[in-house]
């Protein structure tokens, strides 16, 4: 199942040239860029591991691309994303975030619906080992 998180999630994976251009866009806007990785892609998992420190005061995306290449070398079997953080007053938030690496075999999630008292409907996600195990 193709995970769809962040910007460009319904497009084909970005090439390194496209990633470079997106990072350069972040830097041109004065945003700090960081690289994160995880082996738990659940949508509510907000605690991805950071690869080094956020990169402030860069002017060329080549530095980020070097760090990305090293992160892919070490954690190429995991999800890796790049985020651009805008620290300007009024925003102080992540402005852009997108996946730049996926594992060869992505996990499958199933959505389970449960009706409980008072006509309340609850939804839960369940991790499935393969597509065949989804209901």
**pLDDT tens-digit readout, 53-67:** 888 888 899 999 999
**pLDDT tens-digit readout, 76-133:** 999 999 999 999 999 899 999 999 999 888 777 777 888 888 889 988 877 776 555 4
Residue 13 has pLDDT above 70, yes or no: yes
CB neighbourhood size of 80 (10 A): 22
CB neighbourhood size of 96 (10 A): 19
CA–CA dist 49, 14 (Å, integer): 21
pLDDT at residue 58 in the model: 87
Please report, to the nearest 10 degrees, the dihedral formed by the alpha carbons of residues 10, 13, 26, 54 taken in order: 110
Percent of the chain with pLDDT over 90: 52
Q: What does the longest C-alpha to C-alpha distance in the chain come to?
A: 57
Handedness of CA 49, 52, 58, 62 (dihedral sign): negative
Q: Cite the beta strand spans of 39-119 per DSSP E.
A: 49-55, 79-86, 93-101, 108-116
């Amino acid at each position: 199942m193709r995970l769809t998180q962040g910007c460009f999630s319904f497009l084909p994976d970005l090439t390194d040239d496209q990633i470079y251009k997106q990072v350069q866009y972040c830097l041109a806007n004065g945003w700090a860029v960081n690289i994160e990785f995880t082996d738990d892609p659940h949508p509510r998992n907000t605690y991805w591991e950071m690869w080094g420190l956020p990169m402030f005061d860069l002017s060329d995306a080549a530095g980020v691309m070097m760090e990305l290449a090293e992160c892919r070398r070490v954690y190429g079997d995991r999800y890796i994303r790049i985020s651009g953080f805008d620290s300007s007053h009024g925003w102080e938030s992540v402005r852009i975030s997108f996946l730049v690496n996926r594992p060869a075999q992505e996990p499958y999630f199933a959505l389970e619906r449960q009706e409980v008292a008072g006509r309340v409907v609850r939804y839960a996600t369940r991790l499935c080992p393969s597509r065949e195990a989804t209901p």
